[in-house]
């Protein structure tokens, strides 16, 4: 790989670690590439779809002229391996905040869970979590929420293409979900809990696919000095 090739355009498939922001992962890649290939200060690089810090998995990073492809990649369907815990909730809908509102789940059956999951396949209305990067009155919702302010999130339409590979080991429920751009899996976890009547929150999230790109081809080498890359 050369500096000229990088500026002509490459896409990197990264396996983002837990507790890293997408911004940190891109910055790490940018720093290493600029240092190794003596790239100009204005070298273009960016990711095609944010992953929350508490999520792991596929993060696509485009550089050079391929940064123009970012909107196209962001619009592609996504796939996630998801685990939720039922019978309890958190304010953030994931593990960022402590558990609250514990409820008994002794009456919940596996068949009931599968029936509820099936209800969410198709086009649905969804409210993003208050602990999200969406802007409300010009400010990030998570900043307002962390400051103790009440945040009203507006519902939006999204599509769940499928929910399969369901694994139930109560209180944990795992499944694979395919969805459209803009779907919040944390909100899906919360909404599933509300439909069950006992609450739920997201305990694990791993993005496994974006369009035709899969986690099997992703790498953690960007944490070191080696790179695996694809020429689009």
Q: How far is CA 219 from the centre of its chain?
A: 17
Return d(Cα 158, Cα 179) in angstroms, integer.
8
Return d(Cα 59, Cα 10) in angstroms, integer.
14
Return d(Cα 28, Cα 122) in angstroms, integer.
37
pLDDT (tens, 9 = 90+) of the chain, 232 residues, equals 788 878 888 899 999 999 888 889 998 888 888 888 888 888 899 999 888 888 999 999 999 899 999 999 999 999 999 999 999 999 999 998 899 999 999 999 999 999 999 999 999 999 888 776 677 767 777 776 676 777 777 889 999 999 999 999 999 999 999 999 989 999 999 999 999 999 999 999 999 999 999 999 998 776 654 444 443 3
Instruction: Give 13's strand partners.
Output: 60
pLDDT, residue 35, reads 83
Q: Are strands 135-136 and 10-16 parallel, antiparallel or unpaired?
A: unpaired
pLDDT, residue 36, reads 84
pLDDT, residue 132, reads 67
pLDDT, residue 81, reads 98
- Answer positive or negative: Cα dihedral of 120, 181, 50, 16: positive
Helix H or strand E segment including 192: helix 185-196
Return d(Cα 158, Cα 181) in angstroms, integer.
8
DSSP state of 200: E
pLDDT, residue 57, reads 95
pLDDT, residue 224, reads 58
User: What is the pTM for the complete model shown?
Assistant: 0.88
Q: How far is CA 100 from the centre of its chain?
A: 23
pLDDT, residue 225, reads 44
Q: What is the separation, in whole angstroms, between the first and last Cα of the chain?
A: 14
Of the residues 15, 52, 94, 191, only one is catalytic, namely 52
Q: How far is CA 14 from the centre of its chain?
A: 13
Q: How many CB atoms lie within 10 A of CB 97?
A: 15
Our answer to whether residue 165 is catalytic in this structure is: no
Write down the residue that tokens 């302010």 correspond to. 149
pLDDT, residue 74, reads 93
Write down the residue that tokens 């990088």 correspond to. 6
- Say whether the peptide bond before residue 171 is cis (omega within 30 degrees of 0): yes
């Amino acid at each position: 790989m050369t500096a000229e090739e990088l500026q002509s355009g490459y896409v990197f498939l990264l396996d983002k670690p837990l507790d890293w922001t997408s911004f940190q992962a891109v910055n790490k890649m940018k720093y290493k590439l600029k240092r190794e290939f003596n790239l100009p200060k204005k070298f273009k690089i960016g990711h095609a779809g944010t992953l929350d810090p508490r999520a792991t998995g596929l993060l696509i990073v485009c550089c050079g002229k391929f940064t123009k492809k970012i909107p196209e990649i962001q619009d592609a369907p996504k796939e996630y391996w998801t685990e939720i815990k039922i019978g309890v909730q958190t304010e953030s809908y994931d593990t960022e905040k402590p558990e609250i509102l514990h409820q008994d789940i002794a009456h919940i059956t596996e068949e009931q869970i599968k029936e509820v999951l099936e209800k969410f396949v198709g086009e649905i209305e969804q409210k993003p979590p208050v602990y999200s990067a969406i802007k409300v009155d010009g400010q990030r919702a998570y900043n307002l929420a962390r400051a103790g302010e009440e945040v009203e999130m507006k519902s939006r339409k999204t599509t769940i293409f499928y929910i399969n590979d369901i694994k139930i080991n109560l209180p944990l429920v795992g499944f694979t979900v395919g969805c459209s751009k803009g779907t919040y899996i944390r909100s899906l976890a919360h909404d599933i809990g509300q439909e069950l009547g006992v609450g739920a929150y997201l305990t694990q999230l791993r993005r496994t696919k974006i369009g035709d790109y899969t986690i099997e081809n992703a790498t953690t080498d960007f944490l070191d000095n080696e790179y695996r890359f694809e020429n689009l």
